[in-house]
Amino acid sequence: MQPGLPKEAYGIHFSNAEPAPVRRLRGGLLREKPEPTPIDGKYLALSERLFADDAIILDRPASTSVRYAADRGPSIEVQWQGFRQLGIWSKPDGAPFLCIEPWRGFASPVDFDGEFFDKPGIMTIEPGKTEILSYRISVG
């Protein structure tokens, strides 16, 4: 973030509309139920209170890229392939950063009490198989 510009001056522009509910965390674990998305079409307005409940997790994003920008100054574009989730987070106490993380797996659900291998969202690859995941970060 640029010095002097608050989080509210920034937004995230998605490559596709993101109407699906999002997931949030409680105590580092995935809450029981999805929640309504804070994304308006293809745009997520940022604010300090947005991250009071920890990360915003898109567990089935329609997009494969986002652009993080304010009305002025530089922007960052993140593009990905092979990742199934997207985590967006920051600290809600004025932290001068935002994390945009393509994920392949996420925190355990609050009510999960099984083997790690059986955890929802876990990435497994069959022996002898390959999986390619990639991302690109561009500064503009």
Residue ranges per domain, the chain?
Answer: 7-139
Fold of the 7-139 domain:
Beta-galactosidase; Chain A, domain 5 (2.70.98)
| 15-31 pLDDT, tens digit each | 999 999 999 998 888 99
How would residue 111 be classed by pLDDT, with cut points 50, 70 and 90? confident
How would residue 114 be classed by pLDDT, with cut points 50, 70 and 90? confident
Q: Quick one: which of 57, 64, 62 has its CA closest to 107?
A: 57
| 50-84 pLDDT, tens digit each | 998 889 999 999 999 999 999 888 999 999 999 99
1 pLDDT above the threshold of 80: no
Give the CA distances from residue 93 to residues 1, 7, 12, 47, 116, in Å, rounded to whole numbers and listed in that order.
14, 11, 19, 10, 33
